Amino acid sequence: MSGPSFPDHLLTVDEWATLPEYERYRLELCEGVLVASPHPGYLHQHVTFALVDALAGQLPRELSVLGDVEVLLPGEPPTVRCPDVIVVDRALVEADPDRATAADVRLVVEVTTGGSGRTDRVTKFSEYAESGIPQYWIVDLTEPAVLAAFTLENGWYRFDGEQAGTVRLSAAGHDVTVDLEELTAVRTDTRGATGDAPVEPGGGSPR
């Protein structure tokens, strides 16, 4: 199948829901505008699935860890993101809605590779903060793999630190351990130019 055709108007959620799936492309909706990007590579997928499994094994049963599901963010025109990992209440999974809302999400995680760095650190950073998602992690697979953690505070994300190796931190109010060395089978050689840190109010940087 060829690539997606781009409509000449801002999409509604109902129109978004009728779009076909494409094997080669990952689709998201940003304020009604269709955004297409290549599907992530093998390393990205390996780390994402391993992180879902690692968190699921440590969090209590009333929480569920999901990978690559749609999340509807508040506002119009609509924004629908497909984060790599989210943590939600198990009750949401049992209800089985078409997509989660930002209010359902306790933790959102993006795994950054290649050209997704600026989107994850700037665009989605502000979207998730403005949507009220309590925690945001960015896992950067560039050598050395690091995890940057942020907690919502007064409407914006507070930088809680960036760590490599074995990382101990809180996820949805529970202590967990993430072993980046174990999650990562292969790494790229250098941190890319797209690895810009999120811009905090007043122009500060978490790095």
Separation CA 120–CA 83 (nearest Å) = 10
DSSP 145: P
Contact 25, 39 (CB under 8 A): yes
Q: Kindly report the backbone phi and psi dihedral angles of residue 132, in degrees, each rounded to the nearest multiple of 5, phi listed first.
A: 85, 20
180-204 confidence digits (pLDDT tens): 999 986 544 444 434 444 444 444 4
56-111 confidence digits (pLDDT tens): 999 999 999 999 899 999 999 999 999 999 999 999 999 999 999 999 999 999 99
On the CB side of 119, how many CA atoms lie within 13 Å of its CA?
16
The predicted pLDDT at position 114 comes to 72
For the whole model, what pTM was predicted?
A: 0.85
